[in-house]
Amino acid sequence: EKEGPESGEEGGNQREDTTISPETSLLSQVAMTYERKSSTGSVSYRGHNSYRKLGALLKGDDGDIGVRKSSFASPGDEGEQDVVADLVGPRGTVQLHWPMALANDCFDDDEWERAEDLTPREENDDATEGGGEKSQVTNVTDCIKKYCQIEQLEETEMWYCNRCKDHVRAWKQFHLYRAPPVLIVHLKRFHYSASTHRRDKIDS
């Protein structure tokens, strides 16, 4: 709401609107912390009133921070960017901590129900709709099973058999008997050269 001209002022000057919007007032109830990280890597944690850091900031010429007229700053607002950069540093981050009760009041469950279901469909559904190719979701377990399948080597990798007295195509298989509590998967790509019988790692 905007206030009208004050009777005690000459010329009918209007007072600047500093009313906080309902959205900003709501955000003031959300706890905000930020991690200040400088270019040297030093880190410090601080907490602040969220509405004064989420778009209700205005840094004046004297360095003081006042209440912004609009409830949210635009992405291209250089003044807002300067204030945030001064708070969190060149490599800092900002975190919002929504209380569960407040989140339930703010976010509509109906919107969640109407959201697109991104869960993988069954193969039967893909086969019946449109007759296109079946979409297959590959997980880490599938990759490990594929890695442990028995594999016949190429003719360029034949082994000499002492029993047959000849070079034959060999079979190989990896076995994983036990997995650690935390499995770290390091993905690499290799290119096999038939001329040199070497596998060179691809950096791209």
Residue range 80-123, pLDDT digits in tens = 667 667 767 666 777 667 677 777 766 666 555 555 555 555 55
In a domain, 65, yes or no: yes
DSSP 50-118: GGGTTT-EEE-TTS-EEE-SSSS--TT-HHHHHHHHHHH-TT-EEEEE--HHHHHHHS-HHHHHHS---
| Residue 35, domain extent | 1-119
Tokens for 72, please give them: 């949210």
86, 119, 152 - which closes a domain: 119
In a domain, 151, yes or no: yes
Prediction pTM value = 0.27
| Whether residue 68 sits in one domain with residue 152 | no
| Whether residue 91 sits in one domain with residue 1 | yes
| Whether residue 171 sits in one domain with residue 109 | no
Q: Tell whether the model's pLDDT for residue 164 goes beyond 60.
A: yes
